[in-house]
C-alpha cells in the first residue's frame, strides 16, 4: 500500500497558497511530516483524510483517486486532528464505543472487546469510567489515538500529537506510534517538534511555506549538515555578535563567557570545533535558508 501525491496545490479564498506543487510518495511504516507552523502540514492532512479538496493535483491511496473514492478511503483511515475534541458527557469507554459504532462495528460484544483492547494498549484501562473531558492532556491524546485505531485502519494520520505534552507523555505517545509502525500500516506523523521525527520515522518530508524542500530519510538530511555545526567557547562580546548572525542551538554560561553550539559557516574570528550534527541541527540549518549548501 502507498499514498501517491502528484502536483498537489491548495489555494484558499483570498489567494493564500497553502500548498504548492507537492510530489510525495508515502509507503508503509512511519512517515514524518516536519515544518514550522503555517508550513501547510495541517492542510495536507485534511486533504489526505478527505476533509478538504485540493485546488489541483492528484492523490491516490492504494491506487484509488481520493476525489472519487472518499467513502472507501475514510473507512481505511484513522485520524487524530490537532484540535481533537471530546463529548463532555461520555466516559472514556463510551467515547470509544461511539467511535466504533461510527466506524461501522455493529456487534456490541465485539465493540466492547475492542474498546477494552484499545484502552489497555494506550494505558487507560483503569480510567475507562472517567469522563473523557476530565482526563489529563496526555491521557486525552492517548484516548484520541485509541479512537483513530478503533476500526483497525490501514492508514493512520496524526496531526501535532505531542504538542503541550510533558516529556514523559511525549515519549509514551511516540512509543505507541513506533509499535504501530512495525505493522503493515502507513502512519503519517505531522509535527513541528524535531524530536518526534528523529525518534520514530525512517522517512520524512520537510515543508516550508507550502513547498516541499526535502523528501527522504532523516539520516540523509543530517548528513547534508555535516561541516556546518560547531561548538565554541566564546566571550560575552563574541556571543552577542554571533547570535545576531547565526542560529545558536545551545548556550551554557562559563567563567570566561559562553559555551555554545551554532550552525552555519564558521566566522573567521571564532575558534570553534566541528561536531556531528543531529536532526535538530539539520532542521535549524535548513530553515535558516542555507539552501546553497544543499544538493537537492
292: alpha, beta or left? (left if phi > 0; alpha if psi -120 to 50): alpha
Residue in the structure block whose three cell numbers are 489526505:
48
The label of the residue with cell 479564498 reads 13
Provide mean pLDDT across the span 260-277.
94
Q: Which residue has the higher pLDDT, 133 or 182?
A: 133
In the predicted structure, residue 8 carries a pLDDT above the cut 90: yes
Per-residue confidence band for 36, with pLDDT thresholds at 50, 70 and 90: confident
pLDDT score of 246: 92
For residues 193 and 169, the answer to whether their CB atoms sit within 8 Å is no
Q: Which of 158, 80, 71, 152 is nearest to 111 (CA)?
A: 152
Digit-coded pLDDT (tens) for 121-142: 888 999 999 998 888 888 888 8
Which cell numbers in the block locate residue 152? 483497525
* Segments in the chain forming alpha helices (H): 41-48, 70-75, 92-102, 108-121, 137-149, 167-180, 194-198, 218-223, 236-245, 279-287
| Mean predicted confidence (pLDDT) in 141-158 | 89
At 122, list the grid cell.
Answer: 494506550
Question: What is the rounded distance in angstroms from the CA atom of residue 241 to the CA atom of residue 30?
Answer: 40
The pLDDT value given to residue 160: 80
Would you tell me how many other CB atoms lie within 10 Å of the CB of residue 269?
9
Residue 291: pLDDT over 90: no
Task: Please name each of the domains of the chain with its CATH number.
Answer: 3-217 (3.40.50.300), 223-293 (no CATH)
pLDDT band at 296 (very low <50, low <70, confident <90, very high): very low
**What pLDDT was estimated at residue 86?**
64
Average pLDDT in the 64-74 region? 92
Give the pLDDT of residue 295. 44
Per-residue pLDDT, 217: 93
Which helix (H) or strand (E) segment holds residue 229: the answer is strand 229-234
pLDDT in tens, 194-251: 888 887 888 999 999 999 989 999 999 999 899 999 999 999 999 999 999 999 999 9
DSSP character at residue 176: H
Specify the pLDDT at position 87. 62
Amino acid at each position: 500500500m502507498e499514498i501517491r501525491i502528484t502536483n498537489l496545490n491548495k489555494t484558499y479564498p483570498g489567494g493564500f497558497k497553502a500548498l504548492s506543487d507537492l510530489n510525495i510518495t508515502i509507503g508503509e511504516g512511519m512517515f514524518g511530516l516536519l515544518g514550522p507552523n503555517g508550513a501547510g502540514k495541517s492542510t495536507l492532512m485534511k486533504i489526505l483524510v478527505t476533509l478538504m479538496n485540493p485546488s489541483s493535483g492528484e492523490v491516490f491511496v492504494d491506487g484509488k483517486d481520493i476525489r472519487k473514492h472518499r467513502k472507501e478511503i475514510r473507512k481505511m483511515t484513522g485520524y487524530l486532528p490537532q484540535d481533537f475534541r471530546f463529548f463532555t458527557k461520555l466516559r472514556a469507554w463510551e467515547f470509544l464505543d461511539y467511535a466504533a459504532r461510527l466506524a461501522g462495528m455493529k456487534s456490541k460484544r465485539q465493540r466492547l472487546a475492542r474498546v477494552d483492547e484499545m484502552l489497555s494498549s494506550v494505558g487507560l484501562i483503569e480510567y475507562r469510567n472517567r469522563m473523557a473531558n476530565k482526563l489529563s492532556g496526555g491521557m486525552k491524546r492517548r484516548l484520541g489515538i485509541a479512537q483513530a485505531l478503533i476500526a483497525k485502519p490501514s492508514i493512520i494520520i496524526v496531526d501535532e500529537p505531542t504538542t503541550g505534552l510533558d516529556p514523559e507523555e511525549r515519549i509514551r505517545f511516540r512509543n505507541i506510534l513506533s509499535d504501530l509502525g512495525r505493522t503493515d500500516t502507513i502512519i503519517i506523523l505531522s509535527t513541528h517538534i524535531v524530536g518526534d521525527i528523529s525518534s520514530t520515522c525512517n522517512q520524512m518530508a520537510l515543508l516550508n511555506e507550502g513547498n516541499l524542500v526535502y523528501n527522504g530519510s532523516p539520516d540523509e538530511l543530517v548528513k547534508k549538515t555535516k561541516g556546518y555545526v560547531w561548538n565554541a567557547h566564546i566571550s560575552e562580546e563574541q556571543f552577542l555578535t554571533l547570535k545576531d548572525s547565526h542560529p545558536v542551538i545551545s548556550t551554557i554560561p562559563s567563567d570566561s563567557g559562553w559555551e555554545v553550539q551554532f550552525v552555519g559557516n564558521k566566522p573567521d574570528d571564532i575558534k570553534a570545533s566541528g561536531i556531528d550534527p543531529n536532526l535538530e541541527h539539520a532542521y535549524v540549518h535548513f530553515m535558516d535558508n542555507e539552501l546553497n549548501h544543499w544538493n537537492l
